[in-house]
Amino acid sequence: MVSTTINGVAPLTFVEPRTLPRYPDNTPAHDAYGRRIDYLRVSLTDRCNMRCVYCMPTVGMQFAPRPEMLTNDELLLVIHAAAAAGFRKLRLTGGEPTLRTDLVELVRAMKATPGIEHIAMTTNAIRLRTLAEPLQAAGLDRVNISIDSLNSQKFRQVTRGGDLHAVWEGIEAAVAAGLDPIKLNAVIVREMNDDEVGALAALTLKYPWELRFIEVMPLTGVADLANAGIVRSAELIEQIEALFGPLESLGHTASDSARRYRIPGAPGKIGLISSVTDPFCATCNRMRLTADGRLHLCLLRDNEVELRTAIRNGASQDDIEQLIRHAVAIKPWGHGLPEGMLPTLRGMSQLGG
Strand boundaries in the chain, DSSP class E: 2-6, 10-14, 39-43, 89-93, 118-123, 142-146, 183-188, 210-215, 248-251, 259-262, 269-273, 286-289, 294-296, 304-306
Q: What is the pTM of this model?
A: 0.92
HSE, side-chain direction, 13 A CA sphere, residue 160 = 12
pLDDT at position 121 is 98
Cα–Cα distances (Å) from 142 to 120, 270, 309, in that order, read 5, 17, 32
According to the model, what pLDDT value does residue 5 have? 43
CATH code for position 265: 3.20.20.70
Structural domains in the chain (count): 1
Residue 260 belongs to what domain range? Answer: 2-350
Spell out the per-residue pLDDT of the chain, length 353, in tens: 554 443 334 456 677 777 777 888 889 999 999 999 999 999 999 999 998 888 877 777 788 899 999 999 999 999 999 999 999 999 999 999 999 989 999 999 999 999 999 999 999 999 999 999 999 999 999 999 999 999 999 999 999 999 999 999 999 999 999 999 999 999 999 889 999 999 999 999 999 999 999 988 766 556 566 566 788 889 999 999 999 999 999 987 766 788 999 999 999 999 998 877 777 888 899 999 999 999 999 887 888 999 999 999 999 999 999 999 999 999 998 776 666 666 566 766 777 76
Report d(CA 348, CA 328) in Å as an integer.
21
